[in-house]
Amino acid sequence: MVVTVSLVFIFGLVLFFLLRSNSLSAGSAFTAAMFGFFLASTGAAGPINNMAAAVVSSIHGL
């Protein structure tokens, strides 16, 4: 749960700065957010969470 909240915060922060620098339009940001929201409700959510947890644990192990 902590990893998920941290990743959401990081991705939200990156998205905020991309929108602020006009590198990403509001429509693209909405599309990306909706894609992530709907992806989380599919069967791909489990493997994606496992991969993110493995990456975080390997970074922590360095």
Q: What is the pTM of this model?
A: 0.53
- Provide the pLDDT for residue 61: 77
> How many CA atoms lie less than 13 Å away from 36 in the CB half-sphere?
13
- Provide the pLDDT for residue 2: 56
- Provide the pLDDT for residue 4: 59
Mean pLDDT taken over the chain: 79
Q: Which amino acid is at 52?
A: A
The residues, ordered by sequence, that sit 6+ positions from 23 with a Cβ below 8 Å of its Cβ are none
Chain segment 4-33, per-residue pLDDT in tens: 567 677 777 888 888 888 887 888 888 788
Per-residue burial over 2-21, b = 16 or more CB atoms within 10 Å of its CB, e = otherwise:
eeeeeeeeeeeeeeeeeeee
